[in-house]
Amino acid sequence: MARERRAIRRIESAAARQVTFSKRRRGLFKKAEELAVLCDADVALVVFSSTGKLSQFASSSMNEIIDKYSTHSKNLGKSDQQPAIDLNLEHCKYDSLNEQLAEASLRLRHMRGEELDGLSVGELQQMEKNLETGLQRVLCTKDRQFMQQISDLQHKGTQLAEENMRLKNQMHEVPTASTVAVAEAENVVPEDAHSSDSVMTAVHSGSSQDNDDGSDISLKLAFLFTEQVTLEVRTVGRPP
């Protein structure tokens, strides 16, 4: 069975009128929300009941939508309507940014200790508290950085000390030039001494074949020759 359509006219019963208002208001707000989400539109609804109660819905900000509506209404009859709307919107944003910049500049001057005559005692106390808090943060950050630098320098000093010790150990392990020369000389002298012993043996062997009258003279000559050779060898092998 088809649903009976109700005639659109004022409901006489106050209770029925209030119930219908609540139901239809919820449905209207739901449709407005769906329209804003589906179509990415700015939607604002303002509803006053018969008793004067306000009900409103806005997809973003009610004030921004009302400002946009006011700007649109002012430029509704102009031929260049859309450019004028955009220009007015940009002008409003520009004014808002200028106000924010002026407030930030004023706070910065106050933090520097400038233009403080217009501030009350409470505002000055709050500013003093903020400055003390900021100063403590600055000091903590500075101390932390100093400690980090000191730690880095100590670490570098330890590395340099270890490197210095390693180089010293390497220097002790490497033999010096004088030590090498002395070792070479010591290796040479026994060989010369061995050669001198050979000379002495040859002389003695030769002298045994001579007659008894010239044996003493031959032994003396051989001994002098051997001493001279040994002296020359030791002089050459001595380090400079």
Specify the length of the chain in residues.
Answer: 240
pLDDT tens digits for range 186-225: 554 444 444 445 544 544 454 444 444 445 565 656 666 6
Strand 44-48 relative to strand 54-58, pairing: antiparallel
Q: Which residue has the tokens 């003695």?
A: 204
- Distance from C-alpha of 122 to C-alpha of 200, rounded to nearest angstrom: 118
- Distance from C-alpha of 122 to C-alpha of 104, rounded to nearest angstrom: 20
The predicted model scores a pTM of 0.33
Q: What is the residue extent of each domain of the chain? A: 12-79, 82-117, 122-172
- Distance from C-alpha of 214 to C-alpha of 201, rounded to nearest angstrom: 17
Bridge partners of 58?
44
- Distance from C-alpha of 63 to C-alpha of 44, rounded to nearest angstrom: 10
Tokens of 152: 């880095």
From the options 3.30.160.60, 3.40.50.300, 3.40.50.2300, 3.40.1810.10, give the CATH code of 12-79: 3.40.1810.10
pLDDT tens digits for range 86-142: 666 777 787 888 888 888 888 888 788 887 877 788 888 888 888 898 889 999 999
Where does 1-127 show beta strands of DSSP type E? 44-48, 54-58
- Distance from C-alpha of 148 to C-alpha of 48, rounded to nearest angstrom: 66
Task: Compare 7 and 188 and report the one with higher pLDDT.
Answer: 7
3-state secondary structure of 145: helix
pLDDT at 239 over 70: no
Indicate the angle between helix axes 81-111 and 62-74, nearest 10 degrees. Answer: 130
> Would you state the pLDDT for residue 4?
67
- Distance from C-alpha of 218 to C-alpha of 226, rounded to nearest angstrom: 12
Mean pLDDT, rounded, for 136-149? 92
Contacts of 65 (CB under 8 A, 6+ apart): 42, 43, 44, 58, 59
